[in-house]
Structures are given as C-alpha cells and as structure tokens.
Amino acid sequence: MKERINNHNGKLWWGLGVGVGVVAGAHFLRRWVAERRLPPLFKARASAGVALITGASSGIGATYAEYLAQAGYDLILVARRRERLEALAESLRTRTGVMVEVLPADLGFPEDVGRVAARIESLPALDFLINNAGYGRSREFAASAVNEELHMAHVHVDASLRLTRAALPGMLARGRGAVVNVASVMAFYPLPGGATYTATKAALVGFTRALHQELQGTGVRVQALCPGLTRTEFHQAANLSITQAPGIAWLSTDQVVAHSLRDLAADAVISVPGLGYAALVGVSGVFPPVLFDGIGTAYQALRRVKPASAAGGAFDGFSRRRYESLGQVTGELRAIFQRRAELRKAMRLLDPAFRERLMLTVTQVNGCRYCAQAHARMALEGGLAQEEIEALLSGVTAACPADELTALLYAQHWAESGGAPSAAARATLLECYGEERTAAIEMALRMIQVGNLSGNTFDYLLYRLSGGRWGK
C-alpha cells in the first residue's frame, strides 16, 4: 500500500516536473520566435492606427498607453478619473506627438459602456482594443452586497464583451486588429474571498479562447493577458494585505505589457508574464481538485489570522536583521565565493575555539537561531565549556581568554554596526592583532554574518507567510 502511494507521489512529482519543463521550454521558444517576427501591426511607424484602452488612468492600462503611443498609435483613454486621464494624455501628446482623446466612463454602468461602444463604432478604424479596466476586493461572497458583486461582473465581463463586439466588425472588414482582455492568474487559481473576481477573470479567459478559434485566419488577434502580482494601485485600492508578499513575486507593469505585446506578435492566445507564473498556470490543469481545496483552506486560514501589522501597517513585529532582497543574498554569497582562497587561509590562521567564540558573539547580536544551534555544537566539539557557550549566547564575554577579548568586543561592535565598524575600533584591532590576523578575523565575521542574515531571512519568510505566527 505504502509502496503504491510512494509510486503515485513519484509519478505526480515527475509529471509536475515535466509540466514545468515543457511550459518553460515553450515559453522561451515562443518569445524567441516572437522577438524575431514582429508583424507590421506592432512595429512603430508614422501612423500606426488607433488604440482604445480601458482602465488607462493608472497601472497596466497607463503602461499600455505609454507603449502604444511610443509605437505611434493615436489613443482613446477610458476610466473614471478624468483628471488622471487628462494628465496622461497631455504628457503623451507632448512627448510622442500622437493624438490622445479622453473618454471618462464608469464601465460598471451600461449607459457608460454604451457611450464607449458608440465611440468605437463611430471610428473609421480601430486597430487595438485593450479591455483592461478592473479592480479587486477581498470579501466573502455570501456576506457581500449583491450589487457590488454584479458591478464587478459588469466592469470585467459585460463591458469587455460589449466593447469587443463593437470593435470586431471593423477589424474583420479590414482584416487586421487586436483585442487584449486583461484577465489574471486567479482565473486558474480560485481563492476564498475572490469568488466573483476569479469567476469574471475565468470568464474572460474562456471567452478569449473561443473567440481566438472563431477568428483563425481573419488577421484579427485576441489575447487573454493573465498577470500575477503586479505593482500598481490595484492592491491598495482593494485593501488587500498581499502587498506584504515577497519582492520576488512582483512584476512591473513594463514586464507585463512588453510580454503581452510580444505574445500578441506570436499570436499566443493566453499570455502569462513571468516564468514562475507561467509555470503555475501551466501546471494548474493537472492539479487534482483536492489540491485546490488545500490551497484555499491554507489561504483562508492566513486571511483569518490578524497580521502582526494590523496596528502599524507593516510587519514590524519581526525585528531581527535580515536581507531585504534576493539580490543582496546572492551578492554576498558571490563575494564570499570569489574570496574562497582567502577564506580558507583565514580559517587556518584562527584557532578553532577562538573562531567559534567570534561566531557565537556575532550570532548573539544578530539573533539567528539556526547559527546559534550549529555553532554551539561546533564550539562544544572545539573544546568550549557549556557554561562559556551559554554566556557568549547571552552577550557575556568576561570568561573568555584575555588575549581574545579585544577581538570579541570588536565582533560585537562589528555586528551591531551591520559590518561597518568605526575607524577607532578597527585601529585598536589592528594594533592588537596585526594586519594578517585582523583580515582573518574580519573574514570570519563576514562569513557568520551571511549565515545569520540568511537564517533570519528564512524566518522572516515564515513569519510573513504564516501571518506572524511562525519564525519570530
């Protein structure tokens, strides 16, 4: 029985691995081909045509406006905030010389959608339609006001369908044009609190895929753009605490729009910017329903935990020093790797017990629980007494050998200053230990600092993912 379960798990992981590999391979190949074969529609030229963008007053929509104006398209910008649209229009006119019209409308209301549709039908030609307007809310469906849920459905679905219907006859008659419907990765990952959002974005994906089949060979392209977390005003407007997600999860609007345009050139009907998100969407089709339920339950549990930030607006309950970005970690590791010969020499120069006292001293300041455990064990093996280890982990160096005290005090100061000691402290160290041993001591301090900060960063991720329950 156990063997069958293992076999089954093995197959599932193998299947997922192949899925991710295939998605990544297809993604790179498609981009490579797309970048080499941009059709005329997407190449900058004197008068590229006309593009209408909904939700152009900020975020992804404003970035589409920027890209298409740079490519020579005259624009019609739609959203509710007239002043934001006018400011963007003025800036684009001045910088790019294209014509920009502002058309304020609330796409949650049929009369406003009707006005925009009528404007499309009155144009001699529309080359690009970007159905981007949208917003999110985190609320449980059963407890929400039904009119609010329907308003979202009108903005996301009804408006997109109606505007697409208004745009297609002209595009088909001219044998060219493109429609982008901005959906979301949430179309593939339903989550509690987002029932209507998920449903409306999934509807856009289904609509676009069917339309893509209907439009084969007509010269008109359609795309469902499915971004993951993107830095815009979206999350703040929706009051979503997801703004606390780690930096690596976020896309920029430039990444999203450039990806969409490249995929449009390759006639890809589903566009998912970011390799990680593309893999997630790729494997979502093979997930058994029970896995979605598990993800949903975990997410629901996290939503219900009051984040540690509730009072201060930030996860400020985690106070240990940590890395702020993946770039910092890789930069430090690269620097250590490049100086590995120096490091080996430094480690040989320092007596193992002295080295462990330095490690424990820095660890005490930075408070990394993983390094404290590992170096307590190494210190025991290196001949330190249990009491001395406990004293060092409480910040007490008095019982240490007298000739090491200057270095240990320096280690404390070095860690407290985040690796930027004062010139006076360094001069004392140099005077006491000379050039070579000072360099070796500093190398040891730097190495343990990397260990401490990496451990703390791991804890910080736990802390954030658990809404403040673990990792502290």
Ligand X SMILES: NC(=O)c1ccc[n+]([C@@H]2O[C@H](COP(=O)([O-])OP(=O)(O)OC[C@H]3O[C@@H](n4cnc5c(N)ncnc54)[C@H](OP(=O)(O)O)[C@@H]3O)[C@@H](O)[C@H]2O)c1
Q: Are 261 and 66 in contact (CB under 8 A)?
A: no
Active site (annotated) includes residue 299: no
Nearest by Cα to 55 from 237, 240, 278, 202:
237
Binding mask 57-96 for ligand X (x = CB under 6 A): xxxxx-----------------xxx--x------------
Phi and psi at residue 16, in whole multiples of 5°?
Answer: -65, -45
Q: Rg for the chain (alpha carbons), in Å?
A: 29
Q: Are 138 and 194 in contact (CB under 8 A)?
A: yes
Rounded Cα distance, 425 and 342, in Å:
23
Size of the site for ligand X (CB under 6 A): 30
Shortest reach from residue 266's CB to ligand X, in Å: 21
Shortest reach from residue 261's CB to ligand X, in Å: 15
Does position 468 interact with ligand X (CB under 6 A)? The reply is no
- What does DSSP say about strands 270-271 and 49-54: parallel, antiparallel, or unpaired? unpaired
Residues in 31-60 that interact with ligand X by CB under 6 A: 54-60
Q: Please identify which residue in 199, 229, 362, 447 interacts with ligand X, judged by CB under 6 A.
A: 229
Rounded Cα distance, 382 and 262, in Å:
59
Q: What separation, in Å, do the N-terminal and C-terminal C-alpha atoms of the chain show?
A: 39
Q: Please identify which residue in 49, 193, 194, 227 interacts with ligand X, judged by CB under 6 A.
A: 227
Rounded Cα distance, 2 and 219, in Å:
55
Per the residue annotation, which of 197, 323, 410, 460 is the catalytic one?
A: 197
Does position 137 interact with ligand X (CB under 6 A)? The reply is no
Shortest reach from residue 150's CB to ligand X, in Å: 12
Q: Are 100 and 89 in contact (CB under 8 A)?
A: yes
Q: What angle do CA 221, 225, 228 make, to 5 degrees?
A: 170
Q: Which is nearer to ligand X, 135 or 315 (CB)?
A: 135
Rounded Cα distance, 100 and 75, in Å:
5
Rounded Cα distance, 346 and 256, in Å:
47
Q: Please identify which residue in 182, 272, 392, 443 interacts with ligand X, judged by CB under 6 A.
A: 182
Does position 281 interact with ligand X (CB under 6 A)? The reply is no
Q: Please identify which residue in 160, 164, 232, 364 interacts with ligand X, judged by CB under 6 A.
A: 232
Which uninterrupted H or E stretch holds 343? helix 340-349
Does position 233 interact with ligand X (CB under 6 A)? The reply is yes
Q: Please identify which residue in 210, 237, 291, 301 interacts with ligand X, judged by CB under 6 A.
A: 237
Shortest reach from residue 428's CB to ligand X, in Å: 52
Does position 106 interact with ligand X (CB under 6 A)? The reply is yes
Q: Which is nearer to ligand X, 160 or 361 (CB)?
A: 160
Q: In 184-325, which ranges are continuous DSSP H helix?
A: 195-214, 234-237, 253-265, 275-284, 289-304
Rounded Cα distance, 419 and 413, in Å:
8
Q: Which is nearer to ligand X, 30 or 80 (CB)?
A: 80
Does position 273 interact with ligand X (CB under 6 A)? The reply is no
* Interacting span for ligand X (CB under 6 A) from 32-40, 102-110, 163-171, 358-366: 102-110
Q: Which is nearer to ligand X, 55 or 177 (CB)?
A: 55
Q: Please identify which residue in 68, 133, 261, 359 interacts with ligand X, judged by CB under 6 A.
A: 133
Shortest reach from residue 101's CB to ligand X, in Å: 16
Applying CB under 6 A, the residues found at the interface with ligand X are 54-61, 79-81, 84, 105-108, 132-135, 155, 182, 184, 227, 229-230, 232-234, 237
**Active centre residues (catalytic):** 197
